[in-house]
Chain A
C-alpha cells in the first residue's frame, strides 16, 4: 500500500482548471520529485493534499485512508506534513521555542496552561536534539528573524520533522538558498529518516537528480508523465515543455 496516493483529484477556479484527474502513488520510504514549469499546479497540488485548498472531487489516500474531507490540522496529526516554499516561521520565537511548540502540539501538551514549558524537560531535550541533528544547535537561542536565510530553510524542515511525519512534502526546499549554504541543506535532506516517505517539489535539477528515484512531471494542472530520472530526462515532451525547446539542461524556471 502506498504511503500517499491520489485518485482522480480535481480542482478548478471558475474556468481555470488547476488540477485535472491527478493520480499518483508515493510508496513507503520513497524519494520522489514533482517538477514542472511555473503555473503547472505543483504547489496547488500540495495545498490540495494538505487541506489548505479543498478539492472538487477525488480521493487523497494517506496509508489507504481517504483524508480528503479532513481539516488541515487533522491531516498533520495523521502524518501528512509539508514545508513551505516561502518560509513560514515564527519571527519572534527562537528555534528552540518553535520546535518545542511543534512537539507540544504533537503530544497534546499544548493544552497545559498550569505548568511551565521548562517543566517538560523531555520535550525540550527532544527539540534540542532535532535542532542539533539539523545543524541548528548553536543558533537555537536567536530569534528566528535574525537567522540567515539558509538556516531558516533548515528550521522549516526541523518544524516539519518535529511533528513525526509519515509523509513529508518539501515545497522547494532549496529555493533561495545561496550556493555556499546549500551543502548543509543537501546533507540534511540525505539524512532524512529512511522510513519517512518524501515528495520534493523542486526546480533545482541538481537537487532532483541527486535525491529522487522517480520524477513526476506536471504541466497545466495535469500529470504529463512519471518515470525514473533517466526516462524523464530523455523524454522529448519534457524537454519541450519544461526544459525549453533549445533543450539546455538545468533550466531554472523558478
Chain B
C-alpha cells in the first residue's frame, strides 16, 4: 500500500489497462494450431467464432449485468444476413461481415429499447422470448431461410479475391482469428474506457447510478447494440466458413451454450469467453463422437461443479490461486 500511496493515481489507472505478459502469451498460443494440430484447423476456426460470440455476451453480461437467454438471435441474424447476401450474388466475405454486423446491430438497438428497461428474471424471460420468437419466424419463413433444411446455395468468394477458403481450414482459421483479435482489441478498449467504467457501475449497483446523474438506460442501449453487432459478426463468420446456415444458428441451444461457455470460463474478465470456448469446443469434439446426450451429462456436471466451487469461473479461480501464491511468496 505504501507504494500505491506514493505513485500518482493516473499511473495506477494506466497500469490496469496495460498488456500483461500472459495476454501476449495467450495470443501467441492461438497461432500454435497452424503447426501443432494442422488437422484441427476447421475446429480451431469454430472455436474462434464461438469465442467471439462469447466475448459479445461477456460485454453485456459480465460488464453490464444484462443476463440474456436469447443472445443467439443476433448470431443467427448475422449468419442469415451473410448467407442471403452470398446466395443472391455477392459472396465477398469482408463486406458480407460488415453487412451482417449492420443487420444485427439494427435489431440489437431495437431490442435494447425494451431490454434496457428490465432487470433480473424479467430480463431473462424477455430475451428468451425474443430469441424463441425469431427462431420460429425463421422456421416459418422457409421461402427466405430454407426452414429446417437450412439455407442452401451459399457461395463465398475468396477473401480480397486472393485467399480461397480451403478444405483444411487454413484460411478459415486465419480469417476467424484475425476478426476475433480485431474485435477483442475493440472490446478491450471499451472496458477500459470511461464508458466501460460506467457499465461496471451499472453491474455493481444499478440503483446508485441514477443518483449520480448517470443515464443508465442509454448506456445499456449502447452496449447491447455493440454486443449484438459482435454476435452478428460471429454468425457471419460461421456462415462464410461453412457455406451454409441452419436454424441452429439462432436456436435456444446456442443461446444456452454460449451462456454456459461464459460462466465456465468466467464472466467479466474478457478472456473468460475465450477460455470457455476452447474448453467447451475441444471437450465436445473429443467426447461427443458417439452419443451427444452423454456429452451434455458431463457439461452439466462441470457447470454445477464450477458454479459451486469457482463462482467466478475457471479464470476467476486461477486468478485467486495466483494471487494467493504471490502473497505467500
Chain A residues with CB under 8 Å of chain B are: 50-51, 71-73, 76-77, 81-82, 84, 88-93, 96-98, 100-102, 104-106, 109-118, 120-121, 123-125, 127-128, 137-138, 140-142, 159, 162-163
Contacts and interface: CB of A to CB of B under 8 A. Distances in A.
Contacts of A77: 213
24 contacts: A50-B211, A76-B210, A76-B211, A76-B212, A84-B208, A84-B211, A88-B207, A91-B205, A96-B13, A100-B13, A101-B200, A104-B198, A105-B214, A106-B213, A110-B214, A112-B195, A113-B193, A115-B194, A118-B13, A118-B16, A137-B5, A141-B12, A142-B1, A163-B213
Nearest to A131: B9
B212 A111 contact: no
Nearest to A50: B211
A116 B16 CA distance: 10
A192 B113 CA distance: 40
Contact of B211 (A82, A118, A138): A82
**7 nearest A-B residue pairs (beta carbon):** A76-B213, A118-B14, A90-B204, A113-B195, A72-B210, A104-B194, A110-B198
B214 A88 contact: no
A90 B201 contact: yes
A97 B204 CA distance: 12
B122 interface: no
B205 A110 contact: no
Nearest to B219: A110
Contacts of A84: 208, 211
Nearest to A110: B198
Given A104-B194, A110-B197, A118-B13, A89 B208 contact: yes
Nearest to B223: A113
B94 interface: no
A124 B10 contact: yes
A76 to B, nearest CB: 4
B10 A121 contact: yes
A101 B10 contact: no
A72 B1 contact: no
A116 B219 CA distance: 17
A50 B216 CA distance: 16
A73 B12 contact: no
A166 to B, nearest CB: 12
B29 interface: no
Contact of A116 (B12, B17, B214): B17
Contacts of B213: 73, 76-77, 81, 105-106, 163
Nearest to B226: A113
Contact of A101 (B17, B189, B198): B198
Contacts of A142: 1
B4 interface: yes
Interface in B197-237: 197-198, 200-201, 204-205, 207-216, 219, 222
B91 to A, nearest CB: 32
B196 interface: yes
A117 B196 CA distance: 9
A163 B209 CA distance: 12
B190 interface: yes
Contacts of A88: 205, 207-208, 211
Contacts of B4: 141
Given A88-B205, A141-B4, A117 B210 contact: no
B211 A115 contact: no
A117 B9 contact: no
Contact of B201 (A101, A113, A127): A101
Nearest to A138: B5
Nearest to A107: B194
Nearest to A75: B213
A117 B193 contact: yes
B191 to A, nearest CB: 9
Contact of A72 (B9, B14, B211): B211
A69 to B, nearest CB: 15
A162 B219 CA distance: 20
B200 A114 contact: no
A214 B192 CA distance: 46
Name which of A73, A110, A140 has the most chain B CB atoms within 10 A of its CB.
A110
A130 to B, nearest CB: 11
Contact of B205 (A89, A104, A162, A163): A89
A87 to B, nearest CB: 10
Nearest to B214: A105
Given A76-B211, A77-B213, A93 B13 contact: no
Given A101-B197, A124-B10, A125-B10, A113 B189 contact: yes
Contacts of A125: 9-10
